[in-house]
């Protein structure tokens, strides 16, 4: 009996480690492909790298006073006083850090995204596998990891030094924290996602779903609500502290808050191909970063549509049984609903909030960790591991 008892205690860690090897293999697969695509783009600026790389370099020189670095050629597409204030600076900090650690060249600008994309399946696996430390939890984690590995959006968008892949990485951490039923940690991580692009805040309603689905007492629901608002705001302010110290709070408020609100809530002039949030899921009018390699915002339609349908089952189950197999589902519907609201603000007839209908398919990478996590929700639900 002692041997059997020992075996019972040993089995969950062995299963978790075995599953982790599979998740690592998923990450290695994404890493290999993303590195290949990154190399295929060569030593040139691609798509919006002209903005984010220039600004990352400008922040290092003018805000952080970095000297003695061999700088790459500027893109020539941005003014000397342009700092991309419509997006928070965390993604640009990450690109800048890669310049310091690796060098100011395209392969280095893109490396953080490649690494982060390869970590997404591992993060999701651990979030689900450690929930209950059981066989079903491990299988749920594997389902999420394998689903993430199937997403071509992670590979393509990791290959380009843009912001969305960094946002998706922090959101995968927030989803994992929510799966582990830690709403405060999830709120902080949502703040980091929003410190890359403000649309990271679109996951906030998912945090409100958690205590409601669990049937938590009113005090707990209020606590989670306050944390979900306060923690992201404090994180965003902390990330912007160097910007505020350099330019002053007035500049930050007018450009990074008021200006960003105007930028994101109104349609932009005609230009690159646009598509609706529903269109992203079925690759309607995709946005390509580079027409030589055809790398761009491309979805795994089977994954995205399946997640959209399955997520509803997970949420219904969560509310019906006061359980929580719905971290991915709540996040997916929350993000999609907020994008739909953003593009249809005109129906409220609020002055200056006309709605932004110039949305691009590469935004769908923000949905990818949530869509993959829905597969973990499904397995957890099937196994009663919720």
Mean pLDDT of 32-56: 96
Q: Is the pLDDT of residue 304 over 60?
A: yes
Burial code (b: 16+ CB inside 10 Å, e: under 16) for 51-80 equals bbbbbbbbbbeebeeeeeeeebeeeeebee
Within a 10 A sphere around the Cβ of 132, how many other Cβ atoms?
17
What's the pLDDT tens digit per position in 86-99? 999 999 999 999 99
Mean pLDDT of 338-366: 87
Pick from 159, 76, 59, 168: nearest CA to 123: 168
Distance CA 113, CA 88 (A): 17
Mean pLDDT of 334-356: 86
What's the pLDDT tens digit per position in 111-124? 999 999 999 999 99
Segment holding 295, helix H or strand E? strand 295-296
Token pair belonging to 2: 């002692």
Q: pLDDT at position 267, please? A: 85
Q: pLDDT at position 233, please? A: 98
CA atoms within 13 A on the CB side of 280: 24
Mean model confidence pLDDT for the chain: 93
Q: pLDDT at position 1, please? A: 39
Segment holding 374, helix H or strand E? helix 368-382
Higher pLDDT, 143 or 385: 143
Q: pLDDT at position 10, please? A: 59
Q: Is the pLDDT of residue 263 over 90?
A: no
Percent of the chain with pLDDT over 90: 84
Q: Please, which pLDDT band fits residue 7 given cuts at 50, 70 and 90?
A: very low
Contact status, residue 366 vs residue 324, Cβ threshold 8 Å = no
Percent of the chain with pLDDT over 70: 96
Mean pLDDT of 155-178: 97
Distances in Å between the Cα of 24 and the Cα atoms of 120, 141, 142, 250 are: 10, 12, 10, 46
Please work out, in degrees rounded to the nearest 5, the angle formed at the alpha carbon of residue 357 by the alpha carbons of 308 and 267: 150
Q: pLDDT at position 347, please? A: 80
């Amino acid at each position: 009996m002692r041997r059997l008892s020992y075996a019972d205690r040993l089995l969950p860690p062995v299963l978790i480690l075995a599953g982790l090897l599979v998740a690592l293999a998923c990450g290695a697969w994404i890493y290999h492909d993303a590195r290949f695509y990154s190399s295929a783009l060569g030593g040139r600026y691609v798509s919006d790298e002209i903005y984010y790389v220039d600004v990352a370099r400008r922040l290092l020189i003018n805000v952080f006073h970095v000297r003695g670095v061999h700088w790459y050629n500027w893109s020539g597409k941005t003014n000397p006083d342009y700092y991309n204030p419509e997006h928070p600076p965390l993604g640009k900090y990450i690109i800048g850090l890669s310049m310091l650690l690796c060098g100011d060249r395209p392969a280095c600008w893109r490396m953080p995204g490649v690494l982060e994309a390869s970590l997404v399946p591992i993060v999701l696996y651990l979030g689900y596998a450690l929930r209950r430390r059981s066989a079903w939890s491990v299988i749920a984690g594997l389902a999420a990891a394998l689903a993430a590995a199937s997403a071509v959006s992670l590979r393509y968008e990791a290959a380009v030094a843009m912001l969305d892949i960094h946002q998706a990485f922090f959101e995968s951490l927030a989803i994992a924290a929510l799966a582990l039923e830690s709403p405060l940690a999830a709120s902080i991580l949502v703040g980091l996602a929003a410190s890359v692009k403000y649309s990271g805040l679109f996951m906030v309603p998912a945090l409100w779903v958690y205590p409601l689905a669990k049937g938590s007492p009113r005090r707990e629901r209020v606590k989670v609500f306050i944390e979900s608002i306060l923690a992201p705001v404090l994180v965003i302010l902390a990330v912007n502290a160097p910007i505020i110290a350099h330019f002053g709070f007035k500049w930050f408020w007018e450009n990074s808050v008021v200006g960003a609100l105007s930028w994101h809530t109104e349609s932009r002039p005609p230009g690159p191909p646009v598509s609706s949030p529903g269109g992203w899921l079925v690759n309607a009018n995709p946005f390509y970063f580079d027409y030589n390699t055809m790398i761009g915002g491309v979805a795994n339609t089977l994954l995205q549509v399946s997640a959209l349908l399955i997520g509803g089952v997970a949420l219904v189950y969560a509310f019906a049984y006061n359980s929580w197999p719905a971290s991915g589902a709540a996040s997916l519907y929350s993000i999609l609903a907020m994008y739909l609201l953003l593009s249809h603000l005109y129906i409220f007839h609020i002055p200056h909030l006309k709605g932004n209908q110039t949305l691009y398919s590469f935004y769908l990478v923000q949905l990818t960790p949530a869509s993959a996590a829905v597969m973990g929700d499904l397995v957890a639900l099937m196994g009663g591991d919720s």
